[in-house]
Amino acid sequence: MALNETHDAGLQSWLASANTGKSDFPIQNLPFAVFRRKSGNEAFRGGVAIGDQVLDMAAVRDAKVLAGDVQAQVEAAAASQLNALMAMSPAQWSALRLALSRALRAGAKEEAALKACLVPQSEVEYTVPVQVGDYTDFYTSVHHATNVGKLFRPTNPLMENYKWVPIGYHGRASSIRISGVDFKRPSGQLKAPDADPVLKPCNRLDYELEMGIYAGAGNPWGDAIGIEDAENHIFGLCLLNDWSARDVQAWEYQPLGPFLSKNFATSISPWIVTLEALEPYRTAFTRPAEDPQPLPYLSSAANSRRGALDVQLSVAIQTEKMRAAGQAAEQITQTSYRHAYWTMAQLVAHHTVNGCDLQPGDLMGTGTLSGPTAAEAGALLEITEGGKKPLSLSNGESRTFLLDGDAVVFTGWCEKPGAARIGFGECRATVLPARQV
């Protein structure tokens, strides 16, 4: 990917709501989702965000508004699942983005035809935009790994392998849900000291601030994706909340890692921001000189020069009491994806180095993206030091872990001088009471 005319910070759309400078969805973004109107029984179909509207790609397809050389991409972008679009090449993705950008610019001849294809975002609902065949969750923040490790191993928080290998585990694709879908508090085996385990609802429920990485075209089984080619196999990114039952996790995770503590729910934001849209926010990937440097299959000049992304990320909590009082969610964390210890290209290269075959639409979580300071912690486990230091909220409430009725809201955005601000929307869900066990 490279900077091109679609990134020009001076571009304006004929849709005024895209030109405010505050919208997540200016013409420089153009992310993808799958949606339908809330009322009625419409079919889900693909859409593109512009300002406060969704450009209905099925309507664009039917109206044949865009040039014929991108009709295959338009057809794929209009589908009820975006796997076929993700299976295309970066050149095809880029051609569709360019066609959309030109048609949505102020003065474009397509304005009248595309206006008829707009649906207000306030009137739509979303669904998971792809058939997620597999979901892998990584552990890419050295700050998160260190903070959590200190709770159990104060003098030796990081495991020996952490700085050598991108650690990950395979999660449960079937329980991935779109933002706005609430979930019941999970149950599992809990064990108190000097007592036998019991089955009961989790009482140490946590969130994890992550980004999700959608795979593009896959690789043949048995072949590896080299780091130089890895980003050609990434379609785009979303926000991801890897909900975690910490007390269930503490009892079950040895020797094979998380199981019921992670597989009950994973929330994702509806909008997929393409890798091309994120190009202006690239930054260098570096390692402290005293740390082990990545093995050759995890290293390239391009990855070192521009492999990291400066995506700003925030966490906010809205308790039931706040909601009843009409109070908005309160921000408790702000950090950046740039602090990750491993880049997205390194994750793809490592995931496939043994011949594992990725498929279009596979999802990879970054792991909790904590930054280097306490204000940048990406989970309550870190903020409260395992529940020992409650988090105080401005309305007088406090939290060690999440209570029923708590909503957790993630937001993400990119901004820098000389580039347009773009965003990811939000990833939100509310904790409901557990079912009886």
Specify whether 339 is catalytic.
no
Q: 239-268 b/e with 16+ CB inside 10 Å = b?
A: bbbbbbbbbbbeebeeeeebebbbbbbbbb
C-alpha 150/C-alpha 153 separation (Å) is 5
Write the CB contacts of 127 (distance below 8 Å, at least 6 apart in sequence).
34, 35, 36, 44, 178
The answer to whether 317 and 431 are in contact (CB under 8 A) is no
Alpha-helix residue ranges (DSSP H) falling in 171-282: 246-252
Question: What is 365-408 written as a DSSP string?
Answer: E------SSGGG--SHHHHTTTTTSPEEPTTS-EESSPPTT-EE
The answer to whether 279 and 2 are in contact (CB under 8 A) is yes
Catalytic residue among 144, 233, 339, 351, which? 144
Reduced to 3 states, what is the DSSP secondary structure of residue 108? coil
Question: What is 152-169 written as a DSSP string?
Answer: H-TT--S-TTTTTS--EE
> Which residues have a catalytic role annotated?
144
